[in-house]
Amino acid sequence: MEIIKNPDAMTAWADQMRARGRTISLVPTMGYFHEGHLSLMRKAREIAEEVVVSLFVNPMQFGPSEDLDRYPKSFDQDARLAHEIGASVLFAPGSDEVYPPGFQSKVEVAGLTEQLCGASRPGHFTGVTTVVAKLFNMVKPHFAVFGKKDFQQLAVIKKMVADLNFDVKIIGQPIFREKDGLAMSSRNSYLDADERKQALCLYQALQLARQKVAGGEKNAAGLKQEIFRFIAASGKVEIDYVSIVDCRTLSVCREITDKSLLALAVKVGKTRLIDNTLLKGDS
């Protein structure tokens, strides 16, 4: 596995692989790898001959009061894990290389970014789409693999790719969970023992909602209120949002359908966690 830190060197490598007729898949990450990340890399290995894993903690997607300075890092371990999975390249540019002096451009997707995490994290998705667009241009992948835990992010990136005619296929992979159901996240490392137990309220709420729908519940507003009350009663947590939306448009659902997605964002202690599930069919 090569470790590349310079964007021009990354693009030269990609040009060389494409000239040989090799297919490239990209797994964009911010590092501190867990099994969720590794599942994305395994999928990338299945669909392409060369796998590029990018590791870049993107300052543009963090707000002024968020956790940029303390976001967990483990470069040596990440490099080892990416190598063991069979990645061809670990692309780890610095901030000055991604956003050089004088950088002024942004990529923005309207509409899909105005609710859910976009409402409580202004500017977040502009940071995401800008850096992902730059990664696509640097790495020139045929495929890019993202996790469905960040469901809104996945929808926004798909929209950007369609609107701007990026020649890359976006692959969404299921949420990877701990044995007790907690969605894997690098930010789980912030949780102490009590907070870790409280965090299970997200998965428990998703399971409760699916049970209610399986039992015949069709009213989205009523189900949303019940889930809100369940989470609020489950411990010292701060609810950002409980939303039931159409998984294609992210518009609010009035009635539960096979396209209805329950999305949650909750702060446990100082740690903001997100999770989601389709309310019917495979979650």
Buried b (16+ CB within 10 A) or exposed e, 223-253: bbebbeeebeebeebeebbbbbbebeebeeb
Which one from 34, 37, 83, 124 is the annotated catalytic residue? 37
Sort 21 into a burial class: Cβ within 10 Å, 0-12 / 13-18 / 19+: exposed
Task: Using alpha carbons, select from 24, 272, 218, 3 the residue that is nearest to residue 140.
Answer: 24
Nearest to 21 by CA among 60, 45, 54, 49: 49
What is the spatial distance between Cα 13 and Cα 159, in angstroms, rounded to a whole number? 28
Known catalytic residue at 37: yes
Cβ neighbour number for residue 153 with a 10 Å cutoff: 23
Backbone angles phi, psi at 276, to 5 degrees: -165, 165
Tokens representing 243 are 């939303």
The residues that are catalytic are 37
